[in-house]
Amino acid sequence: SVNRGETHIVEPGLPEMVGQVVRSGHLRATMQPEEGDVYLIVVPTPFRGNHEPDISYVETAIRSVIALLKKGNLLIIESTSPVGTTDKMKQLVCAERPDLEGAVYIAYCPERVLPGNLLYELEYNDRVIGGIDEASTQKAMEFYTLFVKGNLHKTNAKTAEMCKLTENSSRDVQIAFANELSLICDKAGINVWELIELANKHPRVNILQPGCGVGGHCIAVDPYFLTSEFPVESQLIAKSRELNNYKAFWCA
């Protein structure tokens, strides 16, 4: 459908944009990877039944382009990934293509877009960019400068990976606090909405609104990437995930 200038994704402004760039010859979709200068890996990273992150889609995507890589190419992972994934993928590339050791640039830059406002946020949101080395970071910065009007923040690959997990885990913990308040208030006979409104009158307090847990592909998933690899150190994150899951059953 893309090559007809159509899209199956419901996103404001996207059908018009896709149609325009296809007609102008700037976009063409294929079922198999083709040679390029920059390769973006943007695939799902779900978790398995035991809540361990599954990076097999990332690995499969990397393997699909290894044979195409040339000296000076840039490989960027945007998929939400456990800490250390970019380094692992670098090792995979070098194991399969020893000739590319130190000859390709590899970086991580997590996507930060909200469905329904994707095109705007893709262009104007700040981005965190971390390479496997300084040269890779700089090369990736140069690439994103071509279309991102938000600020670009340099770091290393591990910190960039951790940043994405931190963003969503932080929101999960904040939501869990609001949900826990609602459970306490229900038992105490207090109106939680009034309570939060009054508490937020404090200039340094900003409690979120409680709800029926957490849904979606990010906030309800990404914290497990930390609790799986750092179970002892991430007990608050794990408890928040447990509470938000419970809240859905409580509401039902």
pLDDT score of 215? 86
Q: Give residue for tokens 């419970």.
A: 246
Asked if 226 and 219 touch (Cβ cutoff 8 Å), the reply is no
Q: Do 167 and 138 reside in the same domain of the chain?
A: no
Q: Do 150 and 241 sit in the same domain of this protein?
A: no
Q: How confident is the model at residue 161 (pLDDT cuts 50, 70, 90)?
A: very high
Domain ranges, residue 68: 2-157
Mean pLDDT of all residues in 76-96: 98
Say if residue 252's pLDDT is above 80.
no
- Are 122 and 170 within one domain? no
Same structural domain, 100 and 136: yes
Active site residue 109: no
Task: Identify the domain boundary among 157, 191, 206.
Answer: 157
Asked whether residue 153 falls in the same domain as residue 197, the answer is no
Judge whether residue 188 has pLDDT over 90: yes
What CATH number is given to the structural domain containing 169?
1.10.1040.10
Final residue of a structural domain among 157, 184, 217: 157
Specify the pLDDT at position 216: 83
Pair 9, 24 in one domain: yes
Percent of the chain past pLDDT 90, that is, above it, reads 93
Is residue 174 located within the same domain as residue 73? Answer: no
The pTM for the full model equals 0.93
**Does pLDDT of 217 surpass 90?**
no
pLDDT at 49: 87
- Cα–Cα–Cα angle for 174, 176, 180, rounded to 5 degrees: 125
- 84 and 202, same domain (yes or no): no
Catalytic residue among 88, 154, 218, 239: 218
Closest CA to 22 of 44, 43, 3, 50: 3
212 is catalytic: no
Report the Cα 135 to chain-centroid distance in Å: 23
Residues 180 and 130 in one domain: no
129: helix, strand or coil: strand
What pLDDT was estimated at residue 50? 87
Both 90 and 34 in a single domain?
yes
pLDDT tens for residues 115-153? 899 999 999 999 999 999 999 999 999 999 999 999 999
- Residue range 211-231: average pLDDT? 93
Catalytic residue among 164, 212, 239, 251: 164
Q: Answer with the one of 157, 185, 200 that is the final residue of a domain.
A: 157
Both 126 and 24 in one domain: the answer is yes
- Number of structural domains (the chain) is 2
The verdict on 87 and 190 lying in the same domain is no
Tell whether the model's pLDDT for residue 40 goes beyond 80. Answer: yes
